[in-house]
Amino acid sequence: MSDQTGNAIFYALLLILPLSALFARRMPLGRVTVMALAWIGIFATGLAIVALVNRNEWLVSGARELFYGRDQSVVGNEVRIQMAQDGHFYARATINGTERVLLVDSGASFTSLSADTAAAAKIALDPTEPKIPLDTANGQVMAQPASIGELRVGGITARDAPAVVSEAFGDQNMLGMSFLSKLKSWRVEGKILILTPAQE
């Protein structure tokens, strides 16, 4: 059974359950019809939202940025990022000119990109290059090595930055040690992450 078939069966069951409950209550046919149409409308709206989010990662990133705040600033040659409400740091970055919000993760060896972000940033992937295993919070995943032509965070720019790409990352993009280790320093003071670029 394919994933699409399985998903179709799952969604059909979700729709059938409330409809069968309506008929079981033996209400007048007119009222049942109205309520059934309302349930179908709610269900269709939910599916449309899911499809939109899956197809437009920029919407997810934008919503995340709106929720977590826009507190990223450049002071001198340093980039300062305010801690978000969830206790993490999120960097506003451009990847080959494509804007994204990346979770800063010092526990990640590589900067990690979702498949949608890699496609939007026109990052070329070599299918002949072996994938590498990565340990994540959701278990081990296989990721494709890649190189970002230009990765910019505030006034800090990294060229030919190593990265990995995988559909298993969902809509999450992470700024890992492959970027942080190239800095002169990075540190947390209070609730502010301070990135200092290496001297050129």
Pick the more confident residue, 85 or 55: 85
Poorest-confidence range of 65-79, 130-144, 162-176, 183-197?
A: 65-79
Q: What is the pLDDT of residue 153?
A: 96
125: left (phi over 0), alpha (psi -120 to 50) or beta: beta
Q: pLDDT for 93-115, tens place per residue?
A: 999 999 999 999 999 999 999 99
Q: pLDDT for 157-173, tens place per residue?
A: 999 999 999 999 999 99
Q: What is the pLDDT of residue 60?
A: 52
Q: What is the pLDDT of residue 185?
A: 95
**Mean pLDDT value across residues 68-92:** 86
Q: What is the pLDDT of residue 199?
A: 75
Cα-trace Rg, the chain: 22
pLDDT band for 12, please (50, 70, 90 cuts). low
Q: What is the pLDDT of residue 7?
A: 55
Residue extents of the structural domains in the chain: 3-55, 70-196
Q: Is 2.50.20.10 the CATH classification of the domain at 70-196?
A: no
SS3 content of the chain, % helix, strand, coil (to 5): 35, 35, 30
Pick the more confident residue, 29 or 181: 181
Q: pLDDT for 19-72, tens place per residue?
A: 566 566 666 666 767 776 776 777 777 666 655 554 454 455 555 555 444 578
- H runs (alpha helix) in the chain: 3-24, 29-55, 57-68, 115-120, 177-180
Report in angstroms the alpha-carbon separations of 85 from 66, 71, 73, 97, 109: 11, 11, 17, 27, 25
Q: What is the pLDDT of residue 2?
A: 43
Residue 144 near residue 174, CB atoms below 8 Å: no
Pairing of strands 111-114, 156-166: parallel
